[in-house]
Structure 1
């Protein structure tokens, strides 16, 4: 029985190594290959088991090196923020609440308990009066109302200088400006086929060019891309941003991946909120 398990684990580790290389090397040029780039946390577990159970020093070394590479991906520290001064706290909640959220009233109370100055939401159903209660508590801002996963809102306790919904390939994003600070809320489509993957790529590339021209900026959103994705890394580099959510932090419960992000050029602190009724985890930004 042990021999059977060891052989199967060895085969699984070989397939895992191939998937890791395909995702990282070919993920920039092929949408399907990029899908394999997201699962570094899962690959880490396979390589850890393979390194323990491997027979022979050579294979044990291969899986140990593969494990080290994955651990580096998981726990690498983000680049230091460009601005080190003590800026005014952003006090923002980002939360993809899920279109079919079963307890919007409880979620509203949970969000307000953080006493945020700004709330950015995805997938909220504004036909539900309980989300309207949250909007009433933060009455300034703008939203794109849609009976789809692409509803989007940015609300604040203070008035915005400007707040507008824009679109790339028909998918919304919000730019809101307040006292010299700019907030972007993003939610591109998921890359579940070639057409949607191209729309996500165009969405991120076009918005990255705009963000790069901003001064004080906070970017929040469900980017439908993990930190391990070449597409995500291209966006962060082109927008000249720093990622603040740890690579290892799962924000999407379905596959345990980190696809909700907080990015800026300032030193901000990010805390993961407790899991609520959504399949996504909210993020608290200070």
Structure 2
């Protein structure tokens, strides 16, 4: 019957169409590359001006926890939830930060410039080849371009090399010098005292500055006095001698993480615990004085 022939021909044409479509799909996958790290394909949709998607004038500090077996996809998602304009990371491996930046762009449409401040190379923390371990230290992400990048290692790091990174960028419509540091570990007060003696004169050179980081010291620790003399914490109620009112920033209920402001004022701040680090995320919205 002619009807049967028509149905059969339609079936042949249908199978041919599916074969062509399948070939096209495979070709597209080969051209576009792999899917997300979790295996689910995604379509990257980056805004024309992705910097508008960040929260203007919001700055964040976060110690990533290292060595910790955490996913950089999860770390990027934590940052994207608050979408700060400037992010200071400590205990950061260069390779991890590269991947975090890529995930922020590919999965969240947030584009950041990155400045790396490694102070040592450590295979156990950052992997890499045994004769070429990954860089470890601080990093800064900024939606606005960064210039005049300086990375300094403290003369005495204590039990592990420590230092700071400093950049110039725009925050709150002003040119601001941003410092990101990680001071010596706990019970090394004298070492931290030497480190703040190095850092404070550099901060003092600038009318407007942000000093982010893990200081490994409670607010009324004597070694922080040079920083308090120059700047105030994002939490107006957190200042010596009223250190007991300061909100903890670690899982062991201690404030070690700070956003110090010089020539800037805080509009509000938030401390948020994270499943992916023993340090909380601390972010604040700032304005020029």
What TM-score comes out, normalization by structure 2 length?
0.60
Structure with the larger RCO, 1 or 2 (CA within 8 Å, 6+ apart): 1
Q: In structure 2, list runs of 5 or more residues that go unmatched.
A: 1-54, 127-135, 156-160, 239-244
Question: Given the alignment, which residue of 156, 162, 177 partners 2:148?
Answer: 162
Does structure 1 conserve the Cα–Cα contact (< 8 Å) formed by 2:183 and 2:214?
A: yes
Greater CA drift, 143-152 or 103-112: 143-152
Distance 1:216 1:114 in 2: 23
For 1:123, what is the secondary structure of its paired residue? strand
Q: Deviations over 1:58-109 (max 9, x none)?
A: xxxxxxxxxxxxxxxxxxxxxxxxxxxxxx9531121101111523211211
Give the structure 1 partner of residue 72 of structure 2.
Answer: 104
Counterpart selection for 1:243 from 233, 239, 242: 233
Q: CA deviation at 1:175?
A: 0.8
CA separation of 1:186 and 1:108: change in aligned 2, threshold 3 A: same
Pairing 1:117-132 to 2, within 5 Å after superposition: 117-128=85-96, 130-132=99-101
| Correspondence for 1:95 among 54, 57, 62 | 62
CA distance in 2, matches of 1:162, 1:200: 25
1:20 aligned residue: none
Change (3 A) 1:138 1:224: farther
Q: Relative to structure 1, is the Cα distance of residues 144 and 130 closer, same or farther in structure 2, using a 3 angstrom cutoff? A: same
Is 1:142 the counterpart of 2:115 in the alignment? yes
Say yes or no: does 1:207 pair with 2:207: no
For residues 63 and 90 of structure 2, the distance between their equivalents in structure 1, rounded to whole angstroms, comes to: 4
Tell me which protein shows more strand as a share of its residues.
2
Q: CA deviation at 1:199?
A: 2.6
Q: Deviations over 1:133-158 (max 9, x none)?
A: 25754442311344359521011122
Deviations 1:238-276 (A, max 9, x none): xx11122344311111x3100101111321132112323
Partners of 1:121 and 1:113 lie apart in 2 by: 16
- Residue number in structure 2 paired with 1:217: 209
Residue 261 in structure 1 maps to residue 258 in structure 2: yes
Is the 1:118–1:138 Cα contact (8 Å) retained in structure 2? no
CA contact (8 A) 2:76 2:104 kept: no
Q: What is the CA–CA distance in structure 1 between the aligned matches of 2:253 and 2:204, rounded to whole Å?
A: 30
1:151 maps to: 137
CA contact (8 A) 2:189 2:223 kept: no
Q: Any idea what the Cα deviations from partners look like across 1:196-247, whole Å, max 9, x if unmatched?
A: 433311111111111122111111110011112122234312xx11122344
> TM-score normalised to the size of structure 1?
0.61
Alpha-carbon separation, structure 1, partners of 2:278 and 2:183: 17
- Contact 2:59/2:283 (CA < 8 Å) preserved in 1? yes
Higher relative helix content: 1
Match of 1:188 in 2: 183
Counterpart for residue 32 of structure 1: none
CA distance in 2 between counterparts of 1:107 and 1:135 reads: 9
The alignment of Structure 1 onto Structure 2 pairs a total of residues equal to 193
Which ranges in structure 1 are unaligned for 5 or more consecutive residues?
A: 1-87
SS of corresponding position for 1:113? helix
Q: 1:154-213: per-residue Cα shift (whole Å, max 9, x none)? A: 111221132221121252201110142111101011143xxx433311111111111122
Tell me the distance in 2 between the aligned counterparts of 1:92 and 1:199. Answer: 27
